[in-house]
């Protein structure tokens, strides 16, 4: 996972300021992302031939693979597709949680409340129990 700004001088300086105590005691951290690009629309009905170089079962990593549709999941669009990737939070979470995590030397969270829009009803093959 690439967190491109984690080694930047500005971010490391900000983390050092927090660790030095100059900003005071921090008891709560809030993060956000202004992106809303997760895609939970129903899966498309159309199917494209799977390119020879793609091993769809490994790529999808699911109990059942959805049909291959060029430009919908591949090459990087799967990240935004709820059910393949994790939508906005999964894609941006590593970036927005990294600065406070590193600055405060945090471990696992004790709770993680969130707000999000309700996903659309998923079409496509049913999940196995």
* pLDDT tens by residue, 27-49: 988 888 787 777 777 777 778 88
Whether 106 contacts 100, CB under 8 Å? yes
**What is the residue-wise DSSP string for 36-48?**
---B-SPPPS---
Average pLDDT, the chain: 76
Res. 26: pLDDT tops 90: yes
pLDDT of residue 10: 92
Backbone region of residue 24 per phi and psi (left: phi > 0; alpha: psi in -120 to 50; beta: other values): left
Domain ranges, ordered by start, for the chain? 36-107
Tens of pLDDT, residue by residue over 53-68, are 776 665 555 555 567 7
Interval 5-25: pLDDT, tens: 788 899 999 999 999 999 999
Total Cβ atoms within 10 A of residue 68 = 17
Residue 105 confidence (pLDDT): 92
Which pLDDT value is given to residue 104?
93
């Amino acid at each position: 996972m690439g967190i491109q700004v984690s080694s930047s001088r500005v971010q490391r300086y900000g983390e050092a300021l927090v660790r030095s105590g100059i900003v005071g005691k921090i008891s709560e951290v809030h993060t956000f992302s202004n992106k809303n690009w997760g895609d939970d629309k129903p899966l498309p009905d159309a199917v494209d031939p799977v390119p020879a170089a793609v091993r769809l079962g490994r790529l999808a990593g699911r109990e059942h693979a959805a049909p291959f549709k060029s430009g919908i999941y591949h090459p990087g669009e799967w990240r935004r597709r709820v059910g393949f990737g994790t939508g906005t939070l999964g894609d941006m979470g590593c970036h927005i949680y990294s600065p406070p995590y590193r600055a405060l030397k945090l471990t696992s969270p004790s709770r993680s409340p969130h707000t999000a829009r309700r996903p659309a009803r998923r079409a496509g093959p049913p999940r196995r129990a």
